[in-house]
Amino acid sequence: MKNVLISGASIAGPALAHWLARYGFTTTIVENTAGFRDGGYAVDFRGAAHLTVLRRMGLLDAVERAKTGMGAMAYVNKDGRPVAWMPADLFAGDVEILRGDLARILHDATRGTTEYVFGDSIASLDEDAGGVTVTFERAAPRRFDLVIGADGLHSNVRRLAFGPEERFVQGLGVHCAIFTVPNHLGLEYAGHVYRTGGQLASVYSARHNTEARAAFYFGSPDTDVHRRDVARQQEILTERFAGTGWECDRLLAEMRHAPDFYFDSVGQVRMDAWSRGRVALLGDAAYCPSSLSGMGTGLAMVGAYVLAGELAAARGDHRVAFARYEDVLRGYAAGCQKMGDGVAKLMMPSSRAVVALLNRYYRLLPYLPGKNMAAKIGRRTAEAIDLPDYAGVPTRPTS
């Protein structure tokens, strides 16, 4: 029986563990945070491939029950007056759900079949012909047949097995911050977006309108701030958005009390290979399309389905399975990344004149012949994969 260590307990890691357990693998997930991580932005699934994976997992009903139910998003001016509306399908796809709610569904579905180790991380990987010896920051060393890095844009496994982050992560010139705030605008399954120069602020209702999420984006090639220096991150956000109009000052004040403040650069991961020996990468760690693409979560779930299916089909032979995993998924991942790159260029216009032109375009969009073009492009990108059917593969890997 193959013993697999997965680094990362957010989305891709538990999704992979779900499938591997079904195929008879033994799975352990290590996560550097002290416990389950709630909060986060809304993520969406669109098209047949995404929904088919959720359905085959047996989780589509649970995801549907937790969906945000978001409607159209309004672009507003500095006084809060709507100046344009964007259709729900452009932002929410077929099913939209908060990242934290999806993570909880996946955790609940796997905690009975997967060992979770919170508050620890991998310190080193020593591979030999028979497996991988893993040392941890806190726990005693252990042996595993395979190690999978599903630990995001700043993957620790990728750094240990492939090299430093700067070789693979390409910034898109945008930073973002997301956090929970009270729904003081009384939004009902709706959101407001305020754009000014190279900056964008938004707030949208969450969890059946009982709370809201604030999201800020600003153009910046580099902030030179450590990823865990929350105080400095909040200072940067305040410096960029204070006094810019709309609800920005109030949202910045609420930021100080948010339990789930998140701040990071927006980037993509581009690699020539997603595996090396007995170590492979999954989701954002391998092929992050950026949070702007709207494809990251669906891509990660499809990737987990394919990686587990190929490992099962190859009866645990990682050399065959990892090669097939890349063959099936690489073109699909490239399409999702192209989507993210295009959104970044449109999202952060550098001048108020361009902002005014975009707002005028959005105001006219409902009346234009190509009003659904962006949503259709997103759907085509999400569906651009022939999803393999692994229903007949063995349910027990070879030892």
| Backbone angles phi and psi of 357, in degrees to 5 | -65, -40
Q: Does the residue 83 lie in any domain?
A: yes
Q: Does the residue 228 lie in any domain?
A: yes
pLDDT at 371: 47
Confidence class of residue 375 from pLDDT cuts 50, 70 and 90? Answer: low
More confident residue, 390 or 89: 390
pLDDT at 133: 98
pLDDT at 395: 73
Q: Does the residue 390 lie in any domain?
A: no
Residue 19 maps to which CATH number?
A: 3.50.50.60
Provide the domain limits for residue 35.
Answer: 3-382
pLDDT at 220: 77
pLDDT at 223: 65
**Residue 374, pLDDT above cutoff 60:** no
Q: Does the residue 399 lie in any domain?
A: no
pLDDT tens, residue by residue, 292-303: 777 889 999 999
Rounded-to-integer distance, Cα 118 and Cα 10, Å: 12
Confidence class of residue 98 from pLDDT cuts 50, 70 and 90? Answer: confident
More confident residue, 399 or 279: 279
Rounded-to-integer distance, Cα 24 and Cα 21, Å: 5
Rounded-to-integer distance, Cα 390 and Cα 382, Å: 20
**Residue 393, pLDDT above cutoff 70:** yes
Q: Give the count of domains, the chain.
A: 1
pLDDT at 142: 98
- In the predicted model, what is the mean pLDDT of residues 163-186? 93
Q: Does the residue 44 lie in any domain?
A: yes
- HEC string of the chain? CCEEEEECCCCHHHHHHHHHHHCCCEEEEEECCCCCCCCCCEEEECHHHHHHHHHHHCCHHHHHHCCCCCCCEEEECCCCCEEEEECHHHHHCCEEEEHHHHHHHHHHHHCCCEEEEECCCEEEEEEECCEEEEEECCCCCEEECEEEECCCCCCHHHHHHHCCHHHCEEEEEEEEEEEEECCCCCCCCCEEEEEECCEEEEEEEECCCCEEEEEEEEECCCCCCCCCCHHHHHHHHHHHHCCCCCCHHHHHHHHCCCCCCEEEEEEEECCCCCEECCEEECCHHHHCCCHHHCCHHHHHHHHHHHHHHHHHHCCCCHHHHHHHHHHHHHHHHHHHHHHHHHHHHHHCCCCHHHHHHHHHHHHHHHHCCCCCHHHHHHHHHHCCCCCCCCCCCCCCCCC
String of b and e for 54-87 (b: at least 16 CB within 10 Å)?
bebbebbebbeebbbbbbbbbbbeeeeeeebbbb
pLDDT at 292: 77
pLDDT at 104: 94
**Residue 95, pLDDT above cutoff 60:** yes
Select the highest-mean-pLDDT range: 58-62, 67-71, 88-92, 366-370: 58-62
Q: Does the residue 397 lie in any domain?
A: no
Instruction: Pull the structure tokens for residue 9.
Output: 């307990």
pLDDT at 378: 67
Q: Does the residue 33 lie in any domain?
A: yes
pLDDT tens, residue by residue, 179-228: 999 999 999 998 999 987 778 999 999 888 999 999 999 987 666 677 78
Q: Does the residue 392 lie in any domain?
A: no
**Residue 359, pLDDT above cutoff 80:** no
Select the highest-mean-pLDDT range: 122-126, 257-261, 294-298, 394-398: 122-126
Instruction: Pull the structure tokens for residue 4.
Output: 């697999």
**Residue 331, pLDDT above cutoff 60:** yes
pLDDT at 391: 86
pLDDT at 353: 62
Q: Indicate the angle between helix axes 230-241 and 248-255, nearest 10 degrees.
A: 170
pLDDT at 373: 53
pLDDT tens, residue by residue, 268-294: 999 999 999 999 999 999 999 987 777
Rounded-to-integer distance, Cα 326 and Cα 340, Å: 20
**Tokens 């005014």 label which residue?**
356
